[in-house]
Amino acid sequence: MTAPETLDPLKTAEQWKLAGRDVALATVVETWGSAPRQAGSHLVIDGDGNFEGSVSGGCVEGAVITEALDVIQSGKAKMLDFGVADETAWRVGLSCGGRIKVYVERLV
């Protein structure tokens, strides 16, 4: 049995644009400390809230999708900054804190 084909969010973005969808692209541009995705990771979101790829996971990903829908409507790119301090991370069961910056832009 072969592994399923890995989907490329950039190829998905291109396909969605060609199909006439409104599309935003979120890209991890910087990380510090503990971060589930490395710089250069992508999440593509369409105007209906469909998405593919990943920039973090959990509540951060939900927040990025919400912001991406706003970017699609306004056409104005955003730089998002998410982080958790080491002390806070320990209280919620994480081993250490971290920070990520995500750039969200509408594709034209």
Does a structural domain hold residue 102? yes
Does a structural domain hold residue 82? yes
Cα 62 to Cα 34: distance, rounded to the nearest angstrom: 19
Does a structural domain hold residue 95? yes
Cα 13 to Cα 60: distance, rounded to the nearest angstrom: 20
**Residue range of the domain that includes 80:** 9-14+22-107
Q: What is the token pair recorded at 20?
A: 């006439």
Does a structural domain hold residue 94? yes
What pTM value is reported for the model? 0.84
Q: Please determine, for residue 4, whether its predicted confidence score (pLDDT) is greater than 70.
A: no
Does a structural domain hold residue 3? no
Does a structural domain hold residue 66? yes
Could you say which DSSP state residue 38 is in? -
Cα 55 to Cα 50: distance, rounded to the nearest angstrom: 15
Q: How many domains does the chain have?
A: 1
Tens of pLDDT, residues 85-104? 666 655 555 456 678 899 99
Does a structural domain hold residue 1? no
Tens of pLDDT, residues 50-63? 999 999 877 889 99
